[in-house]
Chains A and B, each alone.
Chain A
Amino acid sequence: MLGNGSVGLAGGTDLVPLLRDGIVRADTLVDLSRGVPRGVADGRIGAGATLAELEVDPQVPDALREACRLAASPQLRAMGTIGGNLRQATRCWYWRLKYPCYLHGGDRCHAREGEHREHAIFGNERCASAHPSDVAAALIALRSRARTTRRELAVEELYRLPTDDDRDVVALAADELIVELEVPTPRASVYLKAMDRQRWAFPLVGVAAARFEDGVSLALAGVAPIPWPLAGAADLEAATPLPGTAYKVEIARALVARALAAVGA
């Protein structure tokens, strides 16, 4: 039912503005509110669950609950679903204002040469946009898997860096929908977020950490064109910041150390 000009509409918090701006085009909108599951049970979260529901659900691991709680604004959390959150687009101002940038299919990243204080410190060679999803970082640290209408895969496999051949950062087919998320229960987990104001801001740096029997998983938000898994604190030294994003490395160092301490690593 999706693809070929049909686009699925869930909370619509990102999609409706993008449609209006002509960044996303659709001949038909398919209302997903009835078709997609939204409950939470036995470590499974329906993709239609709203962030507002998840931020207060005691079954949800701490890192994910906190990521939901600190995401966007109350009204956006009440509207936005976790499935939609994973598919949200970057907040890069060049991309949003329709500069003919690399991510839009152009030949250069305007942010690299221009204003980029909110932009990437990893994976930013072609496109310096930052992925804004707090939730994705939390799910990746929590080693979550996504079930789509076609397959099951790790949440981090939902994403790919844009390439010359394909500028999309989401590795799903046009007619493929996220249906459900499987979220393991860690021993401990945490999400820490640095932002420009106390609430209602996208992450400058978000750090999710989860401790399992066999070790700790880390993932970052706001630091690369896609959510960025981190093998360990030492990985931060491989960052490739732009002149205006070097401060993000400093913040990430502090927050990663705090997150590791918080989960008892």
Chain B
Amino acid sequence: MLELRVNGGAFELDAPVGTSLADALRDRLGLTGTKIACNEGHCGACTVQLDGVPILSCITLVHSVGEREVTTIEGLRDHPLVEAFVRADALQCGFCTPGQIVSAAALVETDPEPDRDVIRHAMAGNLCRCGTYPRVEEAITTWRA
């Protein structure tokens, strides 16, 4: 049995060694807001925070999470960035969007007013095939509006 701290709650689950955090969140806890698009750490769709740090849950083994607090998109439901993304039209198909918002939330936590270069550096690991990047940049620039 494994205890996982997610979005302020604690969950017990049974998972074989080798299970990824992404699979545990989606299949065991039903938190399907975290998306899996490459499942090998290349695209950022599965981004969640561990103690506030954005990481790739598809290549994180659930048994290595330990005491660290996991924050998923479900835990950021009411973050102002969510509204900012909708306002700026920073989503098309939306499959990468939860990961984008999780990364962006970690960014604005450390730098509430990031400039363009900071945003581009911090968000480069979240691939969007629809090409919403200019809108993502606008959403993060205007998130407190």
Contact = CB atoms under 8 A, between A and B. Distances in A.
Direct contact of A and B (CB under 8 A): yes
Interface of A: 9, 12-13, 16-17, 19-20, 29, 31, 33, 52, 69, 72-76, 78-79, 198-200
Nearest to B64: A31
Nearest to A10: B64
Chain A to chain B: the 5 pairs with minimum beta-carbon distance, closest first = A73-B125, A199-B124, A16-B59, A74-B125, A75-B125
A17 B38 CA distance: 11
B35 to A, nearest CB: 14
Contacts of B103: 74-75
Interface string B58-71: 01110010100000
Nearest to A15: B59
A79 B55 contact: yes
A67 B17 CA distance: 33
B60 A78 contact: no
A187 B34 CA distance: 46
Contact of A199 (B18, B42, B61, B120): B120
Given A16-B59, A75-B103, A76-B41, A200 B124 contact: yes
Contacts of A69: 121
B15 interface: no
B59 A74 contact: no
Given A9-B64, A12-B64, A17-B40, A74 B120 contact: no
B64 A73 contact: no
B123 interface: yes
Contact of A16 (B47, B61, B121): B61
B41 to A, nearest CB: 6
A203 to B, nearest CB: 15
